[in-house]
Amino acid sequence: MTNISKEKLVVSAIENGTVIDHIPANKVLKVINILGLEAYEDEVLIGINLNSQKYGKKGIIKVRNKYFEQNDLNKIALVAPNATLIVIKNYEVIEKKCVEIPDTIEKIVKCINPNCITNQETIDTKFRVIEKNPLKIQCHYCEKTMTNIRFSE
C-alpha cells in the first residue's frame, strides 16, 4: 500500500474543496487559525504527523466546499512555505498550486513596533520581504525589520 492510499484511509477524500498538503506537522493548527477555519461551518478534516517521503512528518487539511484566494495562499506561505494547495472538484484534482512567500506581504501581518502608525490608525499593513529563509520582513511604514511574525486579528 502506498503512502497516498494510507493517507486516504486516515483523512478521507472530499468531493469538492481544497486540500492543503505538506504543512509542517507542528503548524497545522496555526494554518487553521490563520485561515479562520475554526469558524468555517462545513467539514474540515485534519491530519497531523502523517508520514511524508519528502518531509518525514507532515500535516494535511482538507476543507470541503472552499476555494482559497491568493491572499489566503500568501498567509499559508508564511508558516508553511512548502505547502501545496490542491483544488478538488468531483473528487478530481483540478489544480495544484505551490505556495511561495511573496516579495511583499499586505494586510495579514501586524507590525511589531507598538509606535508604528499602523498600530494607531486603521491602515492596511504592508511589508517588504528582505529574506525568505529565515523570514525577515520590513514594515513599509515604520521601516522596522522583524523576524517574529504576528498575524493581524
Partner 1 sequence: MANLKDKNLISITDYSKEEYLEILKIAAEFEKNPKQEILKDKVVASIFFEPSTRTRLSFESAASMLGAKVIGFSNPAATSQSKGESLHDTIKMLSSYSDIIVMRHPREGAARYASEVASVPVINAGDGANQHPTQCMLDLYSILKTQGKLENLQITLVGDLKYGRTVHSLVQAMCNFNATFHLVSPNELKLPSSVKMHIKKANLEYHQYTDLNDVIPFSDIIYMTRIQRERFSDPLEYEKVKDSYILDAATLKGCKETMRILHPLPRVNEISVDVDKTPNAYYFEQARNGVYVRQALIAAILGIK
Q: Which residues bind partner 1 (CB under 8 A)?
A: 111, 113, 115-118, 120-123, 139-145
Beta carbons of 80 and 68 less than 8 angstroms apart: no
Nearer to partner 1, 68 or 127 (CB): 127
Measured from the CB of residue 4, what is the shortest distance to partner 1 in angstroms? Answer: 45
Nearer to partner 1, 5 or 148 (CB): 148
- The set of cell numbers assigned to 88 is 478538488
| Non-local CB neighbours of 109 within 8 Å, separated by 6+ positions | 78, 125, 127, 137, 149, 150, 151, 152
Measured from the CB of residue 12, what is the shortest distance to partner 1 in angstroms? Answer: 47
Measured from the CB of residue 132, what is the shortest distance to partner 1 in angstroms? Answer: 17
Measured from the CB of residue 153, what is the shortest distance to partner 1 in angstroms? Answer: 19
> Could you give the maximum distance between any two Cα atoms of the chain, in Å?
56
Q: How many CB atoms lie within 10 A of CB 80?
A: 23
Nearer to partner 1, 44 or 123 (CB): 123
Nearer to partner 1, 85 or 139 (CB): 139
Q: What is the dihedral of CA 145, 55, 51, 61, to 10 degrees?
A: 40
